[in-house]
Amino acid sequence: MKTHRETYPEQYEHPLCGRRVRVVTGAGFQTDGVVERVVSTRFGLLAHLEGEPRVAWALNDCTPVERSA
């Protein structure tokens, strides 16, 4: 049986995959996380963060953040 990554490799190839982002929505919600995959939907591109399998955020709401040393 193929893994999800093997079946949908394009979802793991976006430049933000593996990068830490800050999500800030128009409603004022804010969270940080690492982008696991990016999915193309009828609503546009959505980012799934690691550890949140049932939540996806609009890619436009995600801003890369640099890790502080």
Looking at residue 11, the DSSP 8-state letter turns out to be G
Task: List, for residues 10-64, the tens digit of each pLDDT value.
Answer: 999 999 999 999 999 989 899 999 999 999 999 999 999 999 889 999 999 999 9
Domains (ranges, CATH) in the chain?
Answer: 4-63 (2.30.30)
Query: What is this structure's pTM?
Result: 0.87
Examine the pLDDT at 68 and tell me if it is beyond 70.
no
Contacts (Cβ under 8 Å, ≥6 apart) of 22:
30, 31, 32, 62, 63, 65
For residue 40, list its beta bridge partners: 45
| Residue 51: predicted pLDDT | 94
Tell me the two tokens of residue 46.
């959505």
